[in-house]
Chains A and B, each alone.
Chain A
């Protein structure tokens, strides 16, 4: 399985994703520039955290117009796993691959800390190695992480089991229904504000994110069905 880490101008968690997949999980992983226009050679696509285009206009708003975007959309339509964390999640919502939007945190401040997370849905290619309702802890580091969607969309997310992660105790940013991560309806596109790639090594004090990448690498070749 070959995994792409897409690098936008201003991405800064690209190394973290690359190393989590490559040196920690032993996956075949490559950086792909936002200038490229094809992801045909890859089996999964990762959008890293950071500040693409400086978060100017809105977080993720400019990145969606880059050359690589049609290829990311095509990969999602083909059913390949597409994953975005933090700024990657923001880009996925801006590109319309995931519903809703991410607003400024209620505190109006950037927040970096480790928070308790509930795995709500373990029936996805990204979470199969977690238990349903398992309580884990993952780092967050964002200023625009407050998930918003209208009532109808929220009901659909619940009904289709698209809510994958919820903040389990305190809600650190004001996200509606404590949403920390969602998939598309088909289940092959996951966006989340927490950073699982920061929680894959005991040396750094947390390995709760490791099973997300292991799930993906184990399931990745099996395309999610419509």
Chain B
């Protein structure tokens, strides 16, 4: 099939506007870069490669704020995934990626291929994926459509990960009306490798082969990248053709074949890259650009699932389970033999050439001839205008919202039934969390923990984000997201190493939204510097809007920590009666953006107050060393629902209780969400040593009992709640909402 339009027709009919390439960009390409009219295929390639999803043209200036190096970082952003040294010649590889737009349109395939895509990023680095995590944000469970979306998203994640045999060990699921028209599905994968096996997405060496491996190319997902870079509206409700279809069995074969090649025959291989967003064009152009090479591809050689595909379709297809390799000349057949063993195709589709040109042939005709750098480096970076939102200006001039809690027991019970707080086992039981038999702690704890077989080491991992705080105060909200992730890692007894992120925002052309992006990234970056957790990978998902209404700014932080001695993992549930209970950190009147506020007022408002994250980091390190000295029997970080909810969660699934004296704390403060706090239990005989190490940052609040009641004296009120009854409320809330007919 020849070009669908002539270059002149493109200039006149402007099809590129539908592919989210602007008039200014087209003119810049035409007059400044090429000096001629681009043809149909070329225009399509520019549209995909210059989309926000591939080029980060909007977010780049902001992303530069992140620290991305420290003494352990072996590979920062720019490759398939970031790599961190975990001693003994081993490295942990991780990355998170959003699949929000596909999941909103077609939840099952969108979520499934989100998992598939992030796994390929990990094994293209040479690492074996050892754990998956997710971060899901849905609308409220009060309508049938949303319940179906939740059900299918969970099934999509489960079906893909379960078939691949990679345990899903942690994650978060929240519910808020702002996600009703645009749900968020962020998937994170963690891999383990020998440092010597690290691969790069590069193509060098004139005459070396460009090999296509894996599944055939079809018409699915064409323009997925540009689709992800535009917002939703009811007028464009059917965008299903832009959603890809996943085949986890094919991916399992591809995983084993690629790791076989990388670990046993790395001398044949120059580079390897996943064909993710924008398929063949992005992988091949990025590899050529990285290697400062020219590249020539013959599209007739690309394995195709459907007849009569145009060059444009072949290049932009986002068919899943494919990889691109650069293989040393003369080893093409050797590589093919490896893939034959796994019943996979491996085809030489082109060569590395002299110069820096990117040349494509199709049906015997040259369909593209442009400098590689035009696609990858010459992107027109856009100046963004930013403006502080009016709602924040207004909130700063209003007094803070002050709740009145008259019945603490009832309030605690109601909070435990809030979907964001309630038990998520109905969802995570659909994920295999134990396959590969390395899961020390699975879902339902502060962090998932995986042991590294053959060593004493373990890895702790978590995903965190609280968009309600970011919405009210982006800078402090960004700091809280990183602090909360660090708190989860430290609560399990691990030292935080680094983070990955997914930055989920609305349309960045709206100055208020760009301001939110900028401020929250600044907050995250400052906290990352404090915790020495550089950002080693991540992705940006903008245009999360429906009918002009944006989601809350939702930066997701995925953090990984190292445990040197796996026997010192600290559980999040109370362990034995008689242990002393401590509250770590000071509690303030922090109610803006809390679950308590949302429950009592139906909305969130106010200003989230700044907090001293330097001080929080200091005592977190003291807490970690107390854990490493075996002074702590359990620890749980305090987040949604405040101290009250944290205490209840520590008792669920045990037969224990707490007897607490909190006479200095008000009933309202019992549910305050001041960041950076923990509840820990300490054996009686280790109290002195623990108090020495934590000083004023630890407050003794009571002891663990064997009564299975939560009993506390607060300033004006007291609380005496049966844990069994509370657990029942907490467990039944989500199944009950999912089953109800409306």
- Complex Cα distance, B433 from A12, in Å, reads 13
- Complex Cα distance, B449 from A205, in Å, reads 12
Does the CB pair B453–A112 fall under 8 Å? Answer: no
- Complex Cα distance, B248 from A46, in Å, reads 24
Residues in B with CB closer than 8 Å to A198 are 434, 437
Q: Interface with B: A52-60, A120-128, A178-186, which one?
A: A52-60
Interface size class of B (residues with CB under 8 A): 20 to 34
Does the CB pair A110–B248 fall under 8 Å? Answer: no
Does the CB pair B429–A113 fall under 8 Å? Answer: yes
Q: Interface with A: B39-47, B156-164, B632-640, B685-693, which one?
A: B156-164
B338-381 interface code vs A (CB 8 A; 1 in, 0 out): 00001100000000000000000000000000000000000000
Does the CB pair B249–A56 fall under 8 Å? Answer: yes
- Complex Cα distance, B432 from A26, in Å, reads 27
Q: Interface with B: A13-21, A148-156, A213-221, which one?
A: A13-21
Contact among A12, A16, A112, A200 for B164, CB-based, below 8 A: A12
- Complex Cα distance, B452 from A192, in Å, reads 28
Does the CB pair A12–B566 fall under 8 Å? Answer: no
A176 at the B interface (CB under 8 A): no
- Complex Cα distance, B324 from A99, in Å, reads 45
Does the CB pair B165–A50 fall under 8 Å? Answer: yes
**Interface residues in A167-206 (C-beta closer than 8 Å to B):** 195, 197-198, 200-201, 203-205
The closest CB in chain B to the CB of A15 belongs to B436
Given known contacts A13-B435, A109-B430, A51 and B440 CB-to-CB distance under 8 angstroms: no
Residues in A with CB closer than 8 Å to B437 are 15-16, 19-20, 197-198, 200-201, 204
B225-262 interface code vs A (CB 8 A; 1 in, 0 out): 00000000000000000000001111011000000000
Does the CB pair A51–B431 fall under 8 Å? Answer: no
A141 at the B interface (CB under 8 A): yes
Given known contacts A51-B249, A53-B249, A54-B247, A12 and B165 CB-to-CB distance under 8 angstroms: yes
CB distance from A33 to the nearest CB of B (A): 9
Residues in B with CB closer than 8 Å to A143 are 162
Contact among B163, B429, B451 for A51, CB-based, below 8 A: B163
The closest CB in chain B to the CB of A19 belongs to B437
- Complex Cα distance, B451 from A19, in Å, reads 14
Given known contacts A54-B247, A109-B155, A109-B430, A204 and B436 CB-to-CB distance under 8 angstroms: no
- Complex Cα distance, B656 from A118, in Å, reads 28
CB distance from B47 to the nearest CB of A (A): 34
CB distance from A17 to the nearest CB of B (A): 9
B439 at the A interface (CB under 8 A): yes
The closest CB in chain B to the CB of A114 belongs to B434
Contact among A19, A20, A111 for B429, CB-based, below 8 A: A111
The closest CB in chain B to the CB of A111 belongs to B429
- Complex Cα distance, B441 from A204, in Å, reads 8
A116 at the B interface (CB under 8 A): no
Residues in A with CB closer than 8 Å to B432 are 110, 112, 141
A9 at the B interface (CB under 8 A): yes
A10 at the B interface (CB under 8 A): yes
Residues in B with CB closer than 8 Å to A204 are 434, 437-440
Residues in A with CB closer than 8 Å to B436 are 12, 15-16
Contact among B159, B430, B433, B451 for A203, CB-based, below 8 A: B451
Does the CB pair A110–B162 fall under 8 Å? Answer: yes
A139 at the B interface (CB under 8 A): yes
Residues in B with CB closer than 8 Å to A49 are 435
The closest CB in chain A to the CB of B342 belongs to A9
Residues in A with CB closer than 8 Å to B439 are 204
Does the CB pair B435–A51 fall under 8 Å? Answer: no
- Complex Cα distance, B433 from A113, in Å, reads 9
CB distance from A192 to the nearest CB of B (A): 16
Does the CB pair A51–B430 fall under 8 Å? Answer: no
Does the CB pair B435–A54 fall under 8 Å? Answer: no
Residues in B with CB closer than 8 Å to A10 are 163, 249, 252-253
Residues in A with CB closer than 8 Å to B248 are 51, 54
Does the CB pair A112–B433 fall under 8 Å? Answer: yes
- Complex Cα distance, B249 from A54, in Å, reads 5
Residues in A with CB closer than 8 Å to B438 are 204
A29-70 interface code vs B (CB 8 A; 1 in, 0 out): 000000000000000000001110111100000000000000
- Complex Cα distance, B435 from A21, in Å, reads 16
- Complex Cα distance, B433 from A171, in Å, reads 20
- Complex Cα distance, B429 from A115, in Å, reads 12
Does the CB pair B434–A9 fall under 8 Å? Answer: no
- Complex Cα distance, B247 from A200, in Å, reads 32
B161-174 interface code vs A (CB 8 A; 1 in, 0 out): 01111000000000
- Complex Cα distance, B431 from A58, in Å, reads 20
B419-457 interface code vs A (CB 8 A; 1 in, 0 out): 000000000011111111111100000000001010000
Does the CB pair A203–B566 fall under 8 Å? Answer: yes
CB distance from A23 to the nearest CB of B (A): 8
Q: Looking at B250, B429, B430, B434, which has the most chain A CB atoms within 10 Å of its CB? A: B434
Given known contacts A110-B159, A204-B439, A141 and B252 CB-to-CB distance under 8 angstroms: no
Residues in A with CB closer than 8 Å to B429 are 111-113
Residues in A with CB closer than 8 Å to B247 are 54
Residues in A with CB closer than 8 Å to B159 are 110
Residues in A with CB closer than 8 Å to B163 are 10, 12, 51, 54-55
Given known contacts A9-B253, A54-B247, A110-B162, A141 and B435 CB-to-CB distance under 8 angstroms: yes
Residues in B with CB closer than 8 Å to A19 are 437, 453
Q: Looking at A10, A15, A19, A197, which has the most chain B CB atoms within 10 Å of its CB? A: A10
B131-172 interface code vs A (CB 8 A; 1 in, 0 out): 000000000000000000000000100110011110000000
Q: With contacts A109-B430, A195-B434 known, what are 15 further pairs, Cβ within 8 A?
A: A10-B252, A12-B163, A12-B165, A12-B252, A12-B436, A20-B437, A51-B163, A54-B248, A111-B429, A112-B432, A112-B434, A139-B434, A141-B432, A198-B437, A203-B566
What are 18 A-B residue pairs whose CB atoms fall within 8 Å in the complex?
Answer: A9-B343, A12-B163, A12-B164, A12-B435, A12-B436, A16-B436, A19-B437, A19-B453, A54-B249, A109-B155, A109-B430, A110-B430, A110-B432, A112-B429, A141-B432, A195-B434, A197-B437, A204-B440
Among all A-B residue pairs, the 9 with the closest Cβ atoms: A12-B165, A54-B249, A51-B163, A16-B437, A141-B432, A110-B430, A112-B432, A198-B434, A110-B158
